[in-house]
Amino acid sequence: MNPSTPRTMFEKVWQQHVVTEPAGEPTILYIDLQLVHEVTSPQAFEGLRLSGRPLRHPERHVATVDHNVPTTSIADRLVIADQIANAQVSALRKNCADFGIELFDVQDADQGIVHMIGPELGLTKPGMTIVCGDSHTSTHGAFGALAFGIGTSEVEHVMATQTLPQSKPKTFLIHVEGGPNGALPFGVTAKDIILDIIGRIGTDGATGCVIEYAGSAIRAISMEGRMTICNMSIEAGARAGMIAPDETTFAYLKDRRFVPKGAAWDQSVAHWRALATDPGAAYDRELHIDATQLAPSVTWGTSPGMVTSIDAAVPTLDQARTDADQKSFTRAYEYMGIRPGTPIQQIKVDAVFLGSCTNGRIEDLRAAARVVNGYHVAGSVRAMVVPGSQAVKRQAEAEGLDRIFKSAGFEWREPGCSMCLGMNPDILSPGERCASTSNRNFEGRQGRGGRTHLLSPAMAAAAAITGHFTDVRTWNFKA
Amino acid sequence: MEPIKILTSTAAPLPLPNIDTDQIIPKQFLKRIERTGYQDFLFYDWRRIQEGPDAGQPDPNFVLNKPEYKGAQILLAERNFGCGSSREHAAWAIAQFGFRAVIAPSFADIFFSNAGKNGIILATLSEAEVQTLMQRSIADPRHSITIDLEAQTVSDQQGFLARFPIDPFRKHCLLNGLDDIGLTLLHQDKLQAYESARQNQFWLDPKPQIV
Ligand code: SF4
């Protein structure tokens, strides 16, 4: 490519990481950081041992435990009652020790969901390539990194070679324009934007693409919100989501543990600034969204694309766009125990889950606490807050958010994936309906037979108080 | 990985779009640390009766429980097969159950690459072509389909013939049963050169020595 041709941010990051482009084979792409957790790594370590291959760069690997760990007490976490889960966590401890990988274990002050601790520790930085055996690795794209989820064979591949064979994805610009200074309508959050996007383009709408989010609304959103948006890129089928680093990014990163300091910081920022897409660079696809028209979103079905707004109703069968959608709608009505045409606000919830790598950050807990303050959880609802990391938990406790939640009747838990995926003791019972700030509402995702509705933290908090979906735009804030 | 050139087999039809990896293998089986033994967990919930006095028993209506589809090495599904979680366990379960190919109008990205690494052929055909095969396999469980990887075709004895695209490299690996890591390590010299050229770019290091 001609060096003067305008390039997208993705193109720049990609080119910088090309190790070689062998004829007739995929490009071999260098991977700067691999994040590791207990669930998708044991078979990769096993593969290394079986083949006698060393782990090439232990310092480019960081591990934590999150998916399996109970969120109740430190004692429950140190030795997990579920023996299979315990064996998996123990295997990770042994593997990290054997291969020289730094592990943030349950008792560590920096433990947390894998996609929380990367940014918090400053391991995640603009322009890097980051992978993890977890589809929500797309989260790290909020910093202008190229970050994507991989399978366990690929985890092993990165361990052995610090590279991955990759075919080049296409580029997809999603431009989100806000009001003055990029402002979003009151009550509309990053979560509502991404749910709306998935609803528009479908869960396979961005397959094979790296999405770049741009526009005044994106620029005005905090790092926390940008991570929420990039996190759910995978729910639209995208390989990754990216946002160009700017002052907001640099302010977030400055002084974090693994971020260069002093003159090295200035030098780093200069490189990171140059990553933004050049004016005039072309994308394979584009979508423009007017964020001033958005309302808080709630999913009604069993795919994140089955989404509508809080002031709407569950769509009827004739609103399905294709025959295949009709079939999915019918199945979803039945699984969700919901009738087409039901106004969303009439749907009652049994459980509320505030947490996950989508919405378990400090800003999310602040937004929810503002709604909850001065109220009590509805009698029929069980509600829990699971901070995404120890750092978030500490910060929230320092701000007194835990007291607001606890006095309102929420449980206040230890960090982990918790009810996002029901691999640990936090699960829904069959038929139980949950307002959840997580990212997937697939059948059984939060426990067999459980019914999940995805929404923003403030909206989840409001549902916890009233016992049904409630429009946070009309909320009577008491503090 | 076992090389594969031509596959002729009956097919199990799953006429649903967006079959996600949570359905292919539910999360409770992700706690295992082994790489084998996943065949019994494939479509675990769908294979069992969910409610009533027979809860937990095999559901005779689910295609993989029907004796007439036993031994099928081809799975037929609708669009966006394998979406959702990145778990490679989904590919392991499919392969270990005995499937060597999935035919669908489209596949999710991560599943696509996981399947390739486990010797599963993913044949992408048009919606209409998949429907034709689906109807024939539903109407007659003995309906046999041939996938010729070399020629990149899917055919049957009733005159069906369609071509499917496949990346030449992936095809080469499947045909010869090659291991990806070994292939990459053939480029060792390029990798070393890349790493030395990158040595001073501390702003891309997860843990820069300079801090
Ligand atoms: S919080 Fe949920 S989405 Fe995030 S890493 Fe954990 S299980 Fe995956």
Tell me the C-alpha distance between B195 and A338, whole Å: 56
Ligand 1: residues with CB < 6 A are A 66-67, 113-115, 134, 136, 356-357, 417, 420-421, 438-439
Structure tokens at B164: 């499917």
A417 Cα–ligand 1 center, Å: 5
Q: Cβ of B175 under 8 Å from any chain A Cβ?
A: no
Q: Cβ of B116 under 8 Å from any chain A Cβ?
A: no
Do A43 and B20 make contact, defined as CB atoms within 8 angstroms?
no
Report helix, strand or coil for A335. helix
How many Cβ pairs within 8 Å bridge chains A and B?
A: 205
Q: Cβ of A249 under 8 Å from any chain B Cβ?
A: no
Question: Residue B138: exposed, middle, or buried by beta-carbon count in 10 A (0-12, 13-18, 19+)?
Answer: middle
Distance from CA of A375 to the nearest CA of B (A): 36
Beta bridge partners of A148: A131
Structure tokens at A455: 């929404």
Q: What is the pLDDT of residue A3?
A: 58
A422 Cα–ligand 1 center, Å: 10
Do B181 and A53 make contact, defined as CB atoms within 8 angstroms?
yes
Q: Cβ of A295 under 8 Å from any chain B Cβ?
A: no
**pLDDT exceeds 90 at position B124:** yes
Residue B10 lies in a domain: yes
Nearest CA to ligand 1 atom 2: A420
Tell me the C-alpha distance between A211 and A207, whole Å: 10
**pLDDT exceeds 90 at position B180:** no
Q: Cβ of A59 under 8 Å from any chain B Cβ?
A: yes
Average pLDDT over residues A111-126: 98
A346 Cα–ligand 1 center, Å: 29
Write out the residue range of the structural domain in which residue B134 sits: 6-177
- Residue A439 CB: number of other CB atoms within 10 A? 27
**pLDDT exceeds 80 at position B211:** no
Q: Cβ of A58 under 8 Å from any chain B Cβ?
A: no
**pLDDT exceeds 60 at position A187:** yes
Average pLDDT over residues A318-333: 92
B206 Cα–ligand 1 center, Å: 22
Residue B46 lies in a domain: yes
Task: List, in sequence order, the alpha helices (H) in A126-188.
Answer: 152-161
**C-alpha distances in angstroms, A13 versus A148, A313, A465, B148?**
13, 43, 45, 38
Residue B138 lies in a domain: yes
Facing residue for A204 by CB, picked from B23, B83, B172 = B83
A357 Cα–ligand 1 center, Å: 6
Name the residue among B183, B206, B204 with its Cα closest to residue B194: B204
Do A150 and B86 make contact, defined as CB atoms within 8 angstroms?
yes
**pLDDT exceeds 90 at position A230:** yes
Distance from CA of B63 to the nearest CA of A (A): 17
Q: Which residue of B has its CA nearest to A323?
A: B17
Looking at chain A from residue 339 to 378, which residues have their Cβ under 8 Å from any Cβ of chain B? none
Residue B209 lies in a domain: no
Name the residue among A120, A389, A129 with its Cα closest to residue A253: A120
Facing residue for B18 by CB, picked from A149, A203, A440 = A203
Do B22 and A33 make contact, defined as CB atoms within 8 angstroms?
no
Q: What is the pLDDT of residue A24?
A: 85
Do A303 and B18 make contact, defined as CB atoms within 8 angstroms?
yes
Distance from CA of B168 to the nearest CA of A (A): 7
Report the CATH number at residue B79: 3.20.19.10
Set of chain B residues whose Cβ sits within 8 Å of the Cβ of A70: none
The rounded mean pLDDT for chain A is: 96
Q: Which atom of ligand 1 is nearest to the CA of A360?
A: 1
Contact A97, A45 (CB under 8 A): no
Average pLDDT over residues A316-339: 94
Set of chain B residues whose Cβ sits within 8 Å of the Cβ of A443: 22-23, 45
Contact B101, B74 (CB under 8 A): yes
Set of chain A residues whose Cβ sits within 8 Å of the Cβ of B181: 51, 53, 156-157, 160-161
Confidence of residue B177 (pLDDT cuts 50, 70, 90): confident
Set of chain A residues whose Cβ sits within 8 Å of the Cβ of B78: 324
Q: What is the pLDDT of residue A2?
A: 60
Set of chain B residues whose Cβ sits within 8 Å of the Cβ of A163: 184, 191
Q: Which residue of A has its CA nearest to B33?
A: A42
Residue B204 lies in a domain: no
Q: What is the pLDDT of residue A271?
A: 98
Report the share of chain A in percent with pLDDT over 90: 95
Task: Give pLDDT tens digits for B99-115.
Answer: 999 999 999 998 998 99
Residue B198 lies in a domain: no
Contact A407, A434 (CB under 8 A): no
Set of chain B residues whose Cβ sits within 8 Å of the Cβ of A28: 184, 187, 190-191
Average pLDDT over residues B13-39: 91
Q: Cβ of A216 under 8 Å from any chain B Cβ?
A: no
Do A123 and B183 make contact, defined as CB atoms within 8 angstroms?
no
Q: Cβ of B203 under 8 Å from any chain A Cβ?
A: yes
Facing residue for B84 by CB, picked from A25, A328, A440 = A440
What is the b/e burial string over A143-169, where b = at least 16 CB atoms within 10 angstroms of the residue's CB?
bbbbbbbbbbbbbbbbbbbbbbbbebb
Residue B47 lies in a domain: yes
Do A327 and B16 make contact, defined as CB atoms within 8 angstroms?
yes
Distance from CA of B156 to the nearest CA of A (A): 25
Question: Residue A312: exposed, middle, or buried by beta-carbon count in 10 A (0-12, 13-18, 19+)?
Answer: middle
User: ipTM, 2 decimals?
Assistant: 0.92
Q: What is the pLDDT of residue B36?
A: 86
A115 Cα–ligand 1 center, Å: 8
**pLDDT exceeds 70 at position B175:** yes
Task: Give pLDDT tens digits for A192-202.
Answer: 999 999 999 99
Domain tally for chain B?
Answer: 1
- Top mutation candidate among A37, A38, A67, A427 for ligand 1, by most atoms within 8 Å of CB: A67
Q: What is the pLDDT of residue B178?
A: 83
Do A128 and B206 make contact, defined as CB atoms within 8 angstroms?
yes
Contact A212, A243 (CB under 8 A): yes
Q: Which residue of A has its CA nearest to B34?
A: A43
Q: What is the pLDDT of residue B32?
A: 85
Residue B185 lies in a domain: no
Name the residue among A176, A147, A70, A95 with its Cα closest to residue A426: A70
Looking at chain B from residue 119 to 158, which residues have their Cβ under 8 Å from any Cβ of chain A? none
Tell me the C-alpha distance between A210 and B135, whole Å: 36
Structure tokens at A30: 């260098």
Q: Which atom of ligand 1 is nearest to the CA of A114?
A: 5
